[in-house]
Structure 1
Amino acid sequence: MALYSGMVYLYKRDNMAHICIKSIILSLIFIFLAGCNKEDKLEKEIAEIPVTITIERFDKAFSKVDQKTLPALKQQYPFLFPEKYQDSFWIQKVADTLQIELANQVAKKYPDLSTLKIKLEGLLQHAKYYFPEITEPRVITITNDVDYHNKIILADDLLLIALDTYLGKDHYFYESIQEYIRRNFKSDQIIPDIATVYAKQLVSLSKSRTFLSNLVYYGKVQYLIDLFLPKYEEYTKLGYSPEQLEWVRVNEEQIWRYFIDKETLYSTDADLSPRFLYPAPFSKFDLEEIDKEAPDRIGRYIGWRIVASYMENNNVSLRQLLMMDAETIFNKSKYKPRN
């Protein structure tokens, strides 16, 4: 009888455990589905925002210009023809062998921009959802002598896209450019680069010169990029490869410990930004076994994590975030690195 009672007890206990596990799984599924429904509803609302753009192919028009058609092109795009240059300069430029090859390579890589147009409209819909004051820009594609410092230019509702800086990282035009710079000279980086330009126009530079202020500045920028491009891979939004992002994730706790141990957060050492925030071959910890493995701009990822943690743990609006100082954001973020 005791044995029977014990078996009944074990059965009930196991059955209860099974029910508890099942309840937990069902709860997690419910939470997941609720989150998905919320995201789907948001995306549907964003998709209804009217945005229509036309991409003007100045790059193609300029490659075909001659003495006769130049005046009309200058009248259509006066901002692309500085007055200090006479017409003869532009005619000579069009006939230049390198310019011809550049135009040919761009035309070959980008015969049609319909996909880019759709993606850009999606980006603008998301940007306008969060910031309705954003207006639809006049979008113009150009070639710019591979000036990678000005791949995307946004000014006075003009959006200029230098297609000659997106021909692919291994293109022969980029042979003299360092690998860490040209690795993002690819077509799928155009939209993230445009999102970055929009985000930087919305985030004010801090007057503080501390490393923490710079971390949070880039964190805010990255947070906006993430909102503008929710369906893009995280590594693409960071300008990383999948392997680089994985390295940062795996080593996040060690990175944070280094920043704390070296007392970098409230330091005003101007050398910290080039080491951890700016494009470079790698982030510079001055540790030989780490430096050549660590991707550059590692501080931007940490800043993003701090800002995302702040928004998750505080009931504040997006505009309040942009106005908030770095120290308050950090102190209230409850940020904890992944381990």
Structure 2
Amino acid sequence: MKKISLPLLVCFFLTACGDKNNAPDVSGVKVDVKVDRFDEAFFSIDTLQMEQGLGKIQQQFPAFLPVYLQNIIGITDPGELKMFYQFYRPVFDSAQKLYKNFNPVKDELEKSFKYVKYYFPEYKTPTHIIPVIGRLDSRQDLARMANGEYTPNFIGPDLAGISLQFYLGSNFSGYQTENFVNNVAPLYRSRRFSREYITPEVMKLIVDDIFPDKSNGRPMIEQMIEKGKRWWLLDKFMPQAADSVRTGYSKKQLDWVNSNEGMIWTFITKNEDLYAIDPATLQTYIGEAPFTQGFDQEFSPGNIGPWIGRQIVRKFESANSNLTVKQIMETPAKKILEEAKYKPK
């Protein structure tokens, strides 16, 4: 997970709609969220007076500016910084066309933070949302979370940072270049580089922060369930969201898994060792891919393991309605598998 310590570093229908009908009432839950437009402050600098401009930003963002320069873009030399500014100014301009009014994103995050506070009152949700423009030239610009997924975003004490350069729409020209496709994100991933994925990707960081995934090295079925638990928790935090957005599947992929749940489970149980730990088997079902080997290449999604895991957790939840969200998250994967008695048709 990409988490910054400031003291240290200084709806569609059916498949598209969320679980709004079963969501708790959070209208009385109070959260304080403010958007600090670091991106606008940085790209308003006069490049002929770079040092003076940085001085003004230092006054506005005394703790965050060093983090941005050293850890996000990795540039402190004034000459290199000026080159970065000039190269990424068009990226900022593209972001401004989409995000000059950031209130819709703020409102989505604020609503999801309320659900976090409802289920976990002691957890400190971010109070500052900081949009930035970072680099686009390396996979290093995407941090790997504990659950194995990549994110361009970060959280820290009281803040959530959003890297807008990765949310410019799937057709953004920068995502189509050979270097970007080969070294940063293939097209099956960059199709999700749009506004509707900002909130779920920030919320995945919060899920990862509350319940870090420690299942690496465990048998495949346990990893499926542990990752599925985190998808299930994301559902709780974002009941208003489309399931396609929460899972990252396209609508046709989501329709396919929902229509073929029994076949998927039968195939896996008949052809694989559920307790396998070898990388080849794990990578087939867990992790980003354009499709899942052994299934329809046009309709099946990659990373199908967490989806199966979430289905098992949902079955366990329905049989244990007395358990709290926290208790379910803390239930061992083995116990969930045994008691869920998962046998989809």
Normalising by the smaller structure, the TM-score range is: 0.7 to 0.9
Q: Per the alignment, in what secondary structure is the counterpart of residue 140 of structure 1?
A: strand
Identify which of 63, 73, 93 aligns with 1:104: 93
TM-score by length of 1: 0.81
Q: Paired residue for 1:153?
A: 154
Q: Paired residue for 1:120?
A: 109
Identify which of 301, 304, 308 aligns with 2:307: 301
Q: Residues 136 and 202 of structure 1: is their aligned pair in 2 closer, same or farther, counting only changes over 3 Å? A: closer
Q: Paired residue for 1:73?
A: 57
Q: Residues 73 and 150 of structure 1: is their aligned pair in 2 closer, same or farther, counting only changes over 3 Å? A: farther
Instruction: Identify the range of structure 1 (149-158 vs 221-230) with the bigger mean alpha-carbon deviation.
Output: 149-158
Deviations 1:293-336 (A, max 9, x none): 31111111100000111111123222222222111110011222
Shift of 1:226: 0.5
Is 1:257 matched with 2:241? no
Q: Which runs of 5+ in 1 are unaligned?
A: 1-35
Q: Paired residue for 1:59?
A: 39
Shift of 1:182: 0.5
> Are the equivalent residues in 2 in contact too, given 1:55–1:139 (CA < 8 A)?
yes
Is 1:216 matched with 2:225? yes
Q: Which runs of 5+ in 2 are unaligned?
A: 1-18, 143-149
Is 1:240 matched with 2:249? yes
In structure 2, what is the Cα distance between the partners aligned to 1:37 and 1:306? 21
- Identity within the alignment, %: 26
Q: Per the alignment, in what secondary structure is the counterpart of residue 134 of structure 1?
A: coil
In structure 2, what is the Cα distance between the partners aligned to 1:319 and 1:158? 23
Rg larger in structure: 1
Q: Per the alignment, in what secondary structure is the counterpart of residue 67 of structure 1?
A: helix
Shift of 1:50: 0.9
Q: Per the alignment, in what secondary structure is the counterpart of residue 52 of structure 2?
A: coil
Q: Paired residue for 1:336?
A: 343
Shift of 1:292: 4.1
Q: Residues 245 and 144 of structure 1: is their aligned pair in 2 closer, same or farther, counting only changes over 3 Å? A: same
Identify which of 131, 134, 149 aligns with 1:144: 134
> Are the equivalent residues in 2 in contact too, given 1:47–1:122 (CA < 8 A)?
no
Shift of 1:251: 1.4
Q: Paired residue for 2:7?
A: none
Q: Paired residue for 2:176?
A: 175
Structure with more helix by fraction: 1
Identify which of 203, 208, 229 aligns with 2:211: 203
Name which structure has the greater RCO, CA cutoff 8 Å, separation 6+.
2
In structure 1, what is the Cα distance between the partners aligned to 2:254 and 2:268? 19
One-letter amino acid matched to 2:83 = Q
Q: How many residues align?
A: 295
